[in-house]
């Protein structure tokens, strides 16, 4: 787990879930200050308005899309708490793969690790910025409505298309001061939700990136078995040297095979921990994208509500793409292992070495992938299907 993941977890107050040390326990207070306003106050109020405050079909779809996003964030936190031991074990297992006794392999491992870490940093910053923009835009819309949308406003048409609040305000508390309090509270909660979602999503994405990185390392280990074995061969007689080379090659391929078996087990653990969260993410994303398209086409183009829906749509698509892209990368990387085994200079190996090659090659002919709720593999085809289906449902609803 990289430093950026730790920072996101600390920022969202979720660090205390994964770590039980004294240092992490101090984040229990920050977790309470974040979870109580979001999950304890904001989410029930949001659901109450959705159930009781029907205005029109467009507004209901908009509120339902936001509510599903926040319910999903709560579900991710619950999943993080329930499976915290398994997640910590997965992190420890993945970190153990980077420990290499061979100097050449250690250098290559370090190079690959740095490359994948940079990728994770960029994705984390992108997702964090997109998530925070949603709350800031919604706060700006609410503030604009409070300042300019009065009885004698000049922006009557614009104010009519800008709905300031996603949560209800009782009539007996309908005062300008309390409206500003609600505006600030809503903006804070939306940003806190963004932090929670980014922390949970980037933890999952980081695990996928780690698995992909370790798979590349294994490809390197299998491809350079003979080369690295020859570099350890001592200058002795040809006969003894050949036996020593075969012994070293068998040792290297057995070590790589052991790492491969452990990595497949780690991949299965990760899939089991997140399979139902991924299923909910895909189902909710399907409806949220459809509702966002419907609302965006029902308001004036380039208006405040349109820009907000556009940013919200891009955020959900980015979130969905990260899941599918890196899960697909894992499948592709595992598929490169048989090629790496064959590209090794295996002609000089003995019979035992060649049997190990064949067994590994046959095993890797079966694709390795993450699953969606024990239903289907998670890959780019799923992302494309969700985007197509959301547009199809939007077209059906819009034409009726």
Count CB neighbours of 311 within 10 A. 17
Count CB neighbours of 31 within 10 A. 18
Angle at Cα 321 formed by Cα 335 and Cα 110, nearest 5°?
Answer: 55
The total number of structural domains in the chain stands at 1
DSSP tally for the chain: helices H, then strands E? 16, 2
At 158 the pLDDT is: 64
Tokens representing 276 are: 């139902």
Among all chains, which residue has been given the structure tokens 């009726």? 400
Count CB neighbours of 262 within 10 A. 15
Report the distance separating Cα 270 and Cα 83, nearest Å: 10
Going along the chain, which residue ranges are E strands?
A: 371-372, 376-377
Report the distance separating Cα 237 and Cα 291, nearest Å: 75
At 155 the pLDDT is: 65
Nearest to 15 by CA among 71, 88, 103: 88
Report the distance separating Cα 168 and Cα 42, nearest Å: 10
* 141-198 residue pLDDT tens: 888 777 777 766 666 666 666 666 667 666 655 677 778 888 888 888 888 898 999 9
DSSP string, 79-110: HHHHTHHHHHHHHHHHHHTT--SSHHHHHHHH
At 235 the pLDDT is: 44
Sign of CA dihedral 108, 111, 114, 118: negative
* Structural contact between residues 299 and 161, judged by C-beta atoms closer than 8 angstroms: yes
* Structural contact between residues 109 and 236, judged by C-beta atoms closer than 8 angstroms: no
Print the domain residue range for 110.
3-399
* Structural contact between residues 304 and 144, judged by C-beta atoms closer than 8 angstroms: yes
At 113 the pLDDT is: 83
Residues 6+ apart with CB under 8 A from 187: 135, 136, 138, 139, 142
For residue 71, count CB atoms less than 10 angstroms from its CB and return exposed for 0-12, middle for 13-18, buried for 19 or more. Answer: middle
Report the distance separating Cα 196 and Cα 127, nearest Å: 12
Phi and psi at residue 371, in whole multiples of 5°? -110, 155
Burial 158-179 (b: 16+ CB within 10 A, else e): bbeebbbbbbebeeeeeeeeeb
Residues 6+ apart with CB under 8 A from 99: none
At 150 the three-state DSSP class reads: coil
Beta bridge partners of 376: 372
Report the distance separating Cα 328 and Cα 208, nearest Å: 10
> pLDDT truncated to tens, each residue of the chain (400 aa)?
567 788 888 888 887 877 766 666 667 777 888 888 888 888 888 888 888 766 778 888 888 888 888 899 999 999 998 998 899 899 888 888 887 777 777 887 888 888 888 888 888 888 888 888 888 888 888 887 777 777 666 666 666 666 666 676 666 556 777 788 888 888 888 888 989 999 999 999 999 999 998 999 999 888 888 888 787 665 444 455 677 888 888 888 888 899 999 999 999 999 999 999 999 999 999 999 999 898 888 877 777 778 888 888 998 999 899 999 999 999 999 999 999 988 888 887 788 888 888 998 898 888 888 888 878 888 999 999 999 999 998 898 888 6
Alpha-carbon Rg of the chain, whole angstroms?
Answer: 26
Measured CA to CA in angstroms, residue 129 lies from 9, 33, 98, 284, 342 at distances of 16, 22, 31, 21, 44
Residue 163 gets the label, from left (phi > 0), alpha (psi -120 to 50) or beta, of: beta
């Amino acid at each position: 787990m990289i430093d950026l993941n730790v920072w996101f977890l600390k920022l969202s107050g979720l660090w205390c879930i994964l770590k039980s040390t004294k240092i992490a326990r101090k984040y229990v207070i920050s977790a309470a200050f974040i979870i109580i306003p979001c999950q304890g106050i904001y989410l029930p109020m949001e659901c109450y308005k959705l159930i009781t405050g029907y205005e029109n079909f467009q507004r209901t779809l908009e509120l339902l899309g936001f509510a599903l996003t926040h319910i999903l964030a709560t579900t991710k936190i619950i999943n993080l708490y329930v499976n915290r031991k398994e997640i910590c074990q997965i992190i420890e297992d993945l970190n153990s793969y980077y420990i290499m006794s061979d100097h050449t392999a250690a250098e290559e491992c370090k190079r690959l690790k740095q490359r994948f870490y940079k990728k994770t940093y960029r994705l984390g910053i992108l997702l964090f910025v997109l998530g925070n923009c949603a709350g800031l835009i919604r706060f700006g819309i609410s503030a604009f409505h409070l300042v300019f949308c009065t009885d004698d406003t000049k922006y009557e048409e614009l104010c009519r298309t800008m709905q300031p609040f996603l949560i209800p305000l009782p009539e007996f508390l309908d005062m300008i001061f309390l409206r500003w309090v609600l505006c600030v509270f809503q903006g804070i909660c939306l940003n806190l939700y963004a932090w929670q979602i980014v922390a949970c999503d980037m933890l999952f994405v980081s695990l996928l990136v780690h698995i992909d990185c370790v798979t590349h390392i294994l490809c390197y280990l299998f491809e350079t078995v003979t080369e690295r074995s020859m570099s350890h061969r001592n200058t002795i007689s040809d006969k003894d040297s050949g036996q020593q080379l075969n012994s070293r090659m068998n040792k290297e391929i057995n070590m790589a095979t052991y790492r491969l078996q452990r990595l497949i087990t780690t991949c299965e653990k990760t899939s089991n921990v997140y399979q139902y969260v991924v299923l909910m993410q895909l189902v909710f994303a399907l409806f949220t994208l459809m509702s966002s398209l419907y609302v965006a086409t029902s308001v004036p183009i380039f208006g405040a509500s349109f820009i907000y829906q556009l940013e919200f749509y891009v955020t959900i698509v980015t979130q969905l793409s990260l899941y599918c892209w890196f899960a697909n990368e894992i499948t592709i990387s595992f598929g490169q292992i048989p090629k790496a085994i064959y590209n090794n200079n295996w002609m000089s190996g003995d019979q035992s070495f060649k049997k190990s090659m064949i067994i590994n090659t046959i095993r890797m002919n079966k694709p390795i992938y993450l699953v969606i709720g024990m239903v289907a593999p998670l890959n780019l085809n799923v992302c494309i299907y969700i985007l197509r289906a959301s547009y199809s449902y939007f077209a059906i609803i819009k034409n009726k």
